[in-house]
Amino acid sequence: MQEIIILLLPVPKIADLSGIPTEGGNTTIESFSKSKRYLLKMHLSEKQLDTFYCGSTFNGRKKVLHRDSGYAPATSDRDRETRLEWEHVVPAYAFGMSFPYWSGYGEDPHPDCFDSKGSPIPNRKCTEKNSKQFRYMQADLHNLRPVIGAVNGLRSNYEFGEIRGESREFGDCDMEIDSRKKRAEPPEGVRGDIGRTYLYMAAAYPDVQFLTDRQRRQMEEWSANDPVDAWECKRERLISRMQGNRNAVVKAACEQAGL
């Protein structure tokens, strides 16, 4: 009789969210398209025109200019290398996987994920169609940052972490992406912003579990090592007026810093 051995892989432990300040998430804006328009208008009004990771500037035509940033294109997609996009710091994939409309795509689609011809609808599109909670999370202004389109595409839905070595794919921009390990290492100057965004999203939407214990420790470390600055604090306040809720993690850090 042939012996069958089943290997049980460890399941990442979901983070304990106690101790993370929260005032709830977005419950007003459902449209990702509207969120992008709101943010572009806000950044133009405040003259905050640097892309998040690499510092290249953008304009009202959604074009990115690399003149003084030292950024070097890493792809042959000339259009996306100069196009402004709005990236989810916490990828839509990360929180979308918690929704039943997303997880079954391609193998066992949800009954509501078929079009009129009986063909399966892509997971993100189906989740957006059927879940208001997902639409709120997808459109949450606190989780969106202006980035170079090509960098957004290469980052994909990879989680953040540290990568061994210093592979500079983007010239002077210290953004590293390992497609084999599906990991992205951001520049040190934005790690705190990223950490506070992850902690906010996890605490603001506690029923949608995506943050592990390991990730929480990483994000808290990044937040501690890269404190808030004046623009991050002002940005949080401006967004709260548009969206109606605070990023309580940033709010607390700004109050502590006197900003």
Residue 235 has which token pair? Answer: 């940005």
pLDDT tier for residue 9 given thresholds of 50, 70 and 90: very low
Q: Residue 7: how many CB atoms within 10 A of its CB?
A: 4
Residue 243 pLDDT > 90, yes or no?
yes
Residue 192 pLDDT > 80, yes or no?
yes
**Buried/exposed code over 110-129 (b: 16+ C-beta within 10 A; e: otherwise):** beebeeeeeebbebbebbbe
pTM: 0.92
Q: Dihedral of the CA atoms 78, 81, 83, 87 (nearest 10)?
A: 140
Mean pLDDT of the chain: 92
Average pLDDT over residues 127-143: 98
Q: Residue 187: how many CB atoms within 10 A of its CB?
A: 17
- pLDDT at res. 105: 57
Distance between CA atoms of 137 and 95, rounded to whole angstroms? 8
Q: Half-sphere exposure of 47 toward its Cβ, with a 13 Å CA cutoff?
A: 0
Residue 206 in any domain: the answer is yes
pLDDT tier for residue 106 given thresholds of 50, 70 and 90: low
Residue 198 in any domain: the answer is yes
Average pLDDT over residues 223-236: 98
Residue 108 pLDDT > 80, yes or no?
no
The answer to whether 257 touches 227, Cβ cutoff 8 Å, is: yes
Residue 209 in any domain: the answer is yes
Residue 20 in any domain: the answer is no
Residue 3 pLDDT > 70, yes or no?
no
Residue 123 in any domain: the answer is yes
Residue 1 in any domain: the answer is no
- pLDDT at res. 16: 77
Distance between CA atoms of 4 and 18, rounded to whole angstroms? 42
Residue 2 pLDDT > 50, yes or no?
no
- How many structural domains compose the chain? 1
Closest CA to 101 of 53, 75, 58, 135: 135
- pLDDT at res. 135: 98
Q: For 29-77, what is each residue's pLDDT tens digit?
A: 999 999 999 999 999 999 999 999 999 999 999 999 999 999 999 999 9
Give the structural domain span for 88: 32-257
Residue 89 in any domain: the answer is yes
Distance between CA atoms of 234 and 230, rounded to whole angstroms? 6
The answer to whether 243 touches 144, Cβ cutoff 8 Å, is: no
Residue 5 in any domain: the answer is no
